[in-house]
Structure 1
Amino acid sequence: MTDEQSWQSPSEQGQPGRAVPGQPPYGQAPPGQPPYGQAPYGQAPYGQAPYGQAPYGQAPYGQAPYGQAPGWTPPPKPGLIPLRPLGFGTLLGAPFQVLRRNPKATFGSALLVQALSVLVSLLVLGPVTFIAIDRMERASAAESDAVAAGAVTAIILAALIPVLLTVLASAVLQGVIVLEVARATLGEKLTLFALWKTALRRIWPLLGWVLLLAAGYVVIIAAAVGIVVLLAVQGAPLLGLTIAVGVLLGLGVVVLLAWLTVKTSLTPCLIMLERLGVGTAVARSWSLTRGYFWKTLGVQFLVGFIVNLASQIVTTPVSLLYGFAATVIDPNNVLGTIGPAAASYLLLMLVTLIITSIAVVAQSAAVALIYIDLRMRKEGLDLELLRFVEARELGEQGVADPYLVPHAAQTAA
């Protein structure tokens, strides 16, 4: 090696690409060490946390930082509603989600009941009314009073059959909707047959409650009417008092019936879900609604108002459209008045059946949601529902129904 080859100037030693004996080329790491700026294999770079660990000063994912309490996480929503006390908006919107979530079991059941009621009325009340009117027209003057009284009696008795059938079917329908809301809250979706099979097991308590409620309404209204009639028969001197008492009693009856309806509105839910008798269910409904009267009234009133408003919006254009179409199709009235009247009646009946079915489902679902909300607030039902959902996800068998209260669960077991 010559002196020219062995000696290099300091400037030449620092030039890139010129290696110094015993040292790696410029920009390369010594043998066995990682390149500059990279960490050895298995170690994190400087200032970074190893893979799978949180950076320094930060808590791992899902855990609160050191010295801080974990944040609140809302309960899961396995089905129709979140498993926590419900807000006013949820109570208004969820009843209509019941229709969308399981339309065959809810809307289908309501439409079936409403159509059955109309069909029975037409098949039973229609022929009896036609025969009674025909006999009244053919009766002689001497027999007219007796025939008229008999005809009216026959019509009233015939009307009781579809009324009783409608009451029975409506009671079962309300139980079906209550069951659907209760199971939908847990993320379950039952078929129409399964819901009706379960509801029919509690048909007699439901029917007893409906008849008891109807009898209470009749007694209250009859008492008010009787007082007004007693004052009216006293003659002209008490005319002013009769009118004043009639107005006050009318307002009082409306307020009393609204109050009783709200306080006992949870009775069907208690009969179906807690399997209570009529008397116990009424007393428990009275207790659950204590302190929440106005909220219960407000939700039920607003749901009914929304449904009735939608009904008016739908039926009014249908009536106007029919009148316009009848004028265009039959401008000279060749078909007469019977054909258009029958078509108008059938069209309005179809629209009414659909709207009524939606209204029944929404109002029954609203009552069931109020029941669940009040039990969450007063009895911690949300915790029982969460335990049931977790146990079901883990595959546990024999888990008790979360809607049963302790004494009812022991009786059912």
Structure 2
Amino acid sequence: MIPLRPLDLGDVLVGAFASIGRGWKQLYGTAVAVYLAAVLLVGGAIAVAYSAVGDRLREIIDLPRGGEPSWAQVQPLVVAFVCVWAFALVVMLLSTAVVTAAVPAVLQDTVLGRPVVFGAVWRRAWERVPAVLGTVLLTGLIGLVPMALLMAVFVALMVGLSASLDGDANAAGGLAAFGFLGVLATAPVVTWLWVKFSLAPHVAVFEGQGPVRSMRRSWDLVRGGWWRIFGISLLGYLMAAAAGFAIREAVDMASFVPMAGTGPLRESQDLTTLLVGLSGWFALALVGQLVAQIVTSTFPQLVTGLLYVDQRIRNENLAPVLASAAGGAGPHPPAPPVVG
């Protein structure tokens, strides 16, 4: 599927699309199963939360015009929202880890020219989910600093806008400037660290390493190829984002027709009637979001996985090992051993 030499941009992109062509059923089948299960779990959590606090929600909706809900009415809704949000976050992190682990499991077979079997892909991916989840969480922590600073900028700007009406916005303006300068200072560092650890999920699956050792291994593999990995990875993410955006736009256009037929909500209609009227739009939007999520979560990882193989070819002479594994007996040879 790929030449047994250092890969250029064309080789990486062709290899990524070739992997999709050979293993799309297994790759996308795993992603669809995982994300549908995640949606069902989150939907069940929402249904449970609504059954618990639905009465309070209807009380707030039925308040007379201009009436303010009491904290006793709002508190259960806040607690339910936080619980559902936390549960959804855990479910999405776990589903992302499964899909991220499935990508190198598929790539391992396609690079070696072996048949891609769904059961084998699922087994190898599920076994490595804890390690991959660890690398995803540890890498995600890197981005918390600029995200926190960005949130500080946003809050400071909102406070400054409110304070400017009273003629005192100096403190909020200083906080916003500090947060903006902090983002400018930390964003390059975070980007550099993100690229250094970008190969860790593939190390966890290909080499069977734990989270910390996978990140150390990724750090070593990226040495000497940071700019090339950054540029090709960024291109892969941009291509996937553009495809996901196009899919969502197409689905939004298709869902405009059922939405246009709902008409304005009459006074005699209640919340249930409104939810039924929006069910068609929600179903189409969910399908579009699911397809876009699958594209944006698999294609960049295929690109990154091929960059992992490329770095090992460049630094560890992996090409003869790949040639030997591709010509070995058995439909599922073990992953190429760690060299060095």
Same fold (TM over 0.5): yes
- Name the counterpart of 2:207: 274
In structure 2, stretches of 5+ residues that fail to align are: none
Query: Does structure 1 conserve the Cα–Cα contact (< 8 Å) formed by 2:156 and 2:176?
Result: no
Report if aligned partners of 2:131, 2:204 keep a CA contact under 8 Å in 1: yes
Greater Cα shift, 131-140 or 178-187 = 131-140
Gap change, CA 1:306 and 1:219, over 3 Å in 2:
closer
Residue by residue, what CA displacement relative to the aligned partner does 1:174-233 show, whole Å, maximum 9, x if unpaired? Answer: 111112112211111231111111222223222222232334433553467569979989
* Higher radius of gyration, 1 or 2: 1
Match of 2:235 in 1: 302
CA displacement at 1:341 relative to structure 2: 2.6
Matched, 1:196 2:117: no
Q: Which moved more, 1:143-152 or 1:190-199?
A: 143-152
Report the more deviating stretch, 192-201 or 376-385.
192-201
The 2-side partners of 1:302 and 1:119 are apart by: 33
- The superposition leaves residues 124-172 of structure 1 with CA deviations (integer Å, 9 ceiling, x where unpaired) of 0244146435325538999921442343123212222232122122212
Equivalence map 1:87-98=2 (5 Å):
87-98=8-19
Query: How big is each residue's C-alpha offset from its partner over 1:351-393, in whole Å with a ceiling of 9 and x where there is no partner?
Result: 2212221222211111111100111011111121123334x1x
State the distance in 2 between where 1:94 and 1:246 align. Answer: 41
Which residue is equivalent to 2:318? 381
State the distance in 2 between where 1:402 and 1:112 align: 25
User: 1:355 — aligned with what?
Assistant: 292
Map of 1:49 onto structure 2: none
Match of residue 365 from structure 1 = 302
Please say if residues 267 and 278 of structure 1, whose CA atoms lie closer than 8 Å, have aligned partners that are also in contact: yes
Contact 2:247 2:291 in 1 (8 A): no
What's the offset of the Cα at 1:103?
A: 1.8
User: How far is 1:116 from its partner?
Assistant: 1.5
2:13 pairs with 1:82: no
Farther-moved stretch of structure 1 (273-282 vs 309-318): 309-318
In 2: Cα distance, 1:245 partner to 1:199 partner: 43
Residue number in structure 2 paired with 1:7: none
Q: 1 CA distance for matches of 2:296 and 2:151?
A: 30
Q: Of 124, 131, 137, which aligns to 1:205?
A: 131
Secondary structure of residue in 2 paired with 1:102: helix
Q: Is the Cα–Cα contact under 8 Å of residues 146 and 187 in structure 2 kept in the other structure?
A: no
Residues 273 and 403 of structure 1 are in contact (CA less than 8 Å); yes or no, is this contact kept in structure 2? yes
Corresponding letter in the other structure for 1:155: F
Q: Is the 8 A contact 2:200 2:215 kept in 1?
A: yes
Name the Cα RMSD after superposition: 3.5
1:171 to 88, 92, 97: 97
1:320 matched to which residue of 2? 253
In structure 2, the residue matched to 1:182 is 108
In 1, the alpha carbon distance for the partners of 2:175 and 2:55 equals: 40
What is the rounded CA distance, in whole Å, between the counterparts of 1:389 and 1:318 in structure 2?
41
CA change 1:131–1:106 in 2 (3 A) is same
Q: Is the 8 A contact 1:228 1:242 kept in 2?
A: no
Q: Does 1:144 align with 2:63?
A: no
The one of the two structures with greater contact order (alpha-carbon pairs below 8 A, sep at least 6) is: 2
- Quick one: percent identity of the two aligned structures? 24
TM-score, normalised by the number of residues in structure 2: 0.81
Q: Counterparts of 1:276 and 1:287 in 2: how far apart (Å)?
A: 14
**Contact 1:176 1:199 (C-alpha < 8 Å) held by counterparts:** yes
Specify which structure has the higher proportion of helix: 2
Q: Report the number of matched residues.
A: 322
Superposition deviation, residue 291 in structure 1 = 2.2
Q: Secondary structure at the match of 1:171?
A: helix
Deviation of 1:402 after TM superposition, in Å, equals: 5.5
Shift of 1:118: 1.5
Q: Which amino acid is 2:31 matched to?
A: A
Runs (5+) with no aligned partner, structure 1: 1-79, 408-413
CA deviation vs aligned residue, 1:277-330 (integer Å, no higher than 9, x gap): 222211121121122222212222212222222233333243234435665x67
1:278 and 1:130 mapped to 2: Cα distance?
A: 40
Q: What pairs with 1:120-159 in structure 2 (closer than 5 Å)? A: 120-129=41-50, 131-132=52-53, 134-135=55-56, 137-138=58-59, 144-159=70-85
